[in-house]
Amino acid sequence: MENSQLEQLNDRTLYHLCHLIYTKLDGEIPEFDDDFFSICDSVSKFFGYSLDYIDYDFLLNLLSLNDFSEKTPKEIDRPEASMFGFDYDEFQTQWVRNTYYNTISSYSKESDILNLVEKMNSDGNFEYYDGNNTETDVYDSEVTDVKVDKSSLHRVKR
């Protein structure tokens, strides 16, 4: 599980970093947006850090858990990282050739079997897809949409 590099900072240093972010946010509750990321980036550079997404997440939760309005450092409640799992759905339009191997019992000669199969198919008495899919060839595909399946989100471990 990935943890923030900022967890290694002592409370005093972390308090100063968060106080500067809090001040630049004008005391407003932060959200994951470009303004928050930009403020965190500019402040963290003073402390010699280049941030990743887990660091922004750590800072946002620190700012939500604690009061950084005073300049004097206090003890900090630190959030704990957890691992989460979720599904990401991809919707595609595909141009595909599927090959199905079928068998049929017949008294006919080999040359007449295909005529029988075509007649059975047109009458609705033969389903080619009941055979074994032996080959799938995707000629082309186009992703039409991608989205998180919100109902699939769950905590994997703490």
Range of the domain at 71: 5-81
Taking CB atoms within 8 Å and a gap of at least 24, the contacts of 76-80 are: 76/11, 76/14, 76/15, 76/18, 78/7, 80/158
Q: What global pTM score does this model have?
A: 0.71
Taking only the tens place, the pLDDT of each residue in 9-29 is 999 999 999 999 999 999 888
Taking only the tens place, the pLDDT of each residue in 114-126 is 999 999 999 999 9
Place of tokens 């897809």: 129
Residue 19's Cβ-count burial label (10 Å; 0-12, 13-18, 19+) is buried
Q: Considering 46, 81, 116, which residue would you say is the last residue of a domain?
A: 81
Give the chain's mean pLDDT. Answer: 92
Do 109 and 55 reside in the same domain of the chain?
no
Nearest CA to 102 out of 80, 131, 127 is that of 131
